[in-house]
Homo-oligomer: A and B are copies of this chain.
Amino acid sequence: MEIEIATIGGYEEVGRQMTAVRAGDNVVIFDMGLNLSKVLIHDNVETERMHSLDLIDMGAIPDDRVMSDIEGDVQAIVPTHGHLDHIGAISKLAHRYNAPIVATPFTIELVKQEIESEEKFGVENDLVKMDPGGTMAIGDDCELEFVNVTHSVIDAINPVLHTPEGAVVYGLDKRMDHNPVIGDPIDMDRFREIGRDGVLCYIEDCTNAGRKGKTPSESVARSQLKDVMYSLEDYDGGIVATTFSSHIARVKSLVEFADDIGRQPVLLGRSMEKYSGTAERLDFIDFPSDLGMYGHRKSVDRTFKRIMNEGKEDYLPVVTGHQGEPRAMLTRMARGETPYELDQGDKVIFSARVIPEPTNEGQRYQAEKLLGMQGARIYDDIHVSGHLSTEGHYQMLEALQPENVIPAHQSMEGYSPYVDLVTGEGYRLGDDLHVTQNGNIIQLTE
């Protein structure tokens, strides 16, 4: 059976992931993501109303025109988890394919919300929920399987397409976490079984391939966060925290430690409400029944007023804005645009890492400067990555023993440490190690 991989997006960048796998007459698409930085570099672009082709020209969504060279029927569109670089282009591209969108429950819910906010296209593909561990037939000979993985968002999976020629494992966006605070550990046993049955191809996320050792478990970030928050138990002024809104495990730790040190947590900001609200509705987490979550600016400001009246020392606002985004809640606080007044000595906890890109670093710097001018003191980088480091990559190669390897989720520069690692394990460029770029088709079997 002919097996081909189309590397549509995310093979020259982080963002706008999209890969198609053809096995005989059947095609499965993994991810349809957005590269947000390509949108933000322009002023006043509103993607909701834009046409796909314009977004493709901007480099914001995958250029899926290469799909016309793929001879087969798309049977499923499979977003692997709920981050925008994996689901953000579904509302712009999915309607072109007559196929259901298959994902885990939390991811499906986020896809649904994306589709609902889309103003240009009507996306009417079926939305099919499948749990980690679940399987689905693809044509007569193939099967799609979801293997549970651990990442910085809940309900993440690595999809596997089992074909008569071996498995194609789409390995993006995971950390080797045996103690992930929420959800099950990564299912390495299943990966090892799949490896024993034969893996034709492994597509791997190179994000942290240059970092030595092991990406720490979420439990390590939790331990560090606990150390910080407990040390503030006696502080009688304002404490504010921020983290990735979609990082439910981290939000859970913030909420619990707030309670431990005698503060009432409250989640503020549009995406804070969206992700945590969704996670709670779907029973991924059981927040305290009185936990406030507010997204609209008015209700947020009303909450800030209440906090100021009742005493900042009794609250922990968990807000958006960890990257210094100009319109996020924390940046508004830094500019003095909210009713919450920061005083000399108040604490701001960034449970996040600055994404290393100059525009971003400039914004974050400005936000911290403005916070500092209001007297706030910063705790930063209380965080662990969601991506495999060197040792995780070695363990995946040992588990899967793939015939072919395709690096992904990076630029050429990002690929390079992974290529070094993989060639060190005996793979060879131009043979079974495929360094590629957006828009290529790699034929694996004939």
Interface residue stretch chosen among A46-54, A151-159, A164-172, A432-440: A432-440
A414 to chain B, nearest CB (A): 8
> Which residues of chain B are near A442, meaning CB under 8 Å?
430
Interface residues of A (CB under 8 A from B): 12, 41, 43, 176, 178-179, 212-214, 216-217, 219-220, 223-224, 227-228, 230-231, 335, 345, 358-366, 369-370, 377-382, 390-391, 394, 411-413, 415-417, 419-420, 423, 428-430, 434-437, 440, 442
A391 x B377 contact (CB < 8 A)? yes
Given contacts A365-B359, A436-B430, are A231 and B212 in contact (CB under 8 A)? Answer: no
How many copies of the polypeptide does the oligomer hold? 4
Q: Which of B378, B415, B440 contacts A416 (CB 8 A)?
A: B415
What is the chain B residue whose CB lies nearest that of A222?
B223
A413 x B417 contact (CB < 8 A)? yes
B437 x A428 contact (CB < 8 A)? yes
> Which residues of chain B are near A436, meaning CB under 8 Å?
429-430
> Which residues of chain B are near A231, meaning CB under 8 Å?
176, 178, 214, 391
A416 x B411 contact (CB < 8 A)? yes
Q: CA of A369 to CA of B39 in the docked complex: distance in angstroms?
A: 12
Given contacts A362-B362, A440-B429, are A379 and B420 in contact (CB under 8 A)? Answer: no
> Which residues of chain B are near A369, meaning CB under 8 Å?
41
Q: Which of B179, B411, B415 contacts A227 (CB 8 A)?
A: B179
Q: Which of B219, B363, B391 contacts A223 (CB 8 A)?
A: B219
> Which residues of chain B are near A430, meaning CB under 8 Å?
434, 436, 440, 442
Given contacts A359-B365, A379-B214, A413-B413, are A423 and B435 in contact (CB under 8 A)? Answer: no
Q: CA of A423 to CA of B438 in the docked complex: distance in angstroms?
A: 11
> Which residues of chain B are near A413, meaning CB under 8 Å?
413, 416-417
> Which residues of chain B are near A419, meaning CB under 8 Å?
412
Q: CA of A369 to CA of B442 in the docked complex: distance in angstroms?
A: 31
Q: Which of B179, B361, B394, B437 contacts A377 (CB 8 A)?
A: B394
> Which residues of chain B are near A361, meaning CB under 8 Å?
358, 361-362
What 14 additional pairs, Cβ within 8 angstroms, besides A43-B335, A216-B227?
Answer: A178-B227, A212-B378, A217-B227, A223-B224, A358-B358, A359-B366, A361-B362, A377-B390, A411-B420, A412-B416, A413-B417, A428-B440, A430-B434, A430-B442
For the complex of A and B, list the 3 residue pairs with the smallest distance between their C-beta atoms, beginning with the closest: A362-B362, A213-B379, A358-B365
> Which residues of chain B are near A434, meaning CB under 8 Å?
430
A–B complex contacts, Cβ < 8 Å, 10 sampled: A212-B378, A212-B381, A213-B380, A213-B381, A214-B379, A223-B223, A345-B394, A358-B361, A377-B391, A413-B416
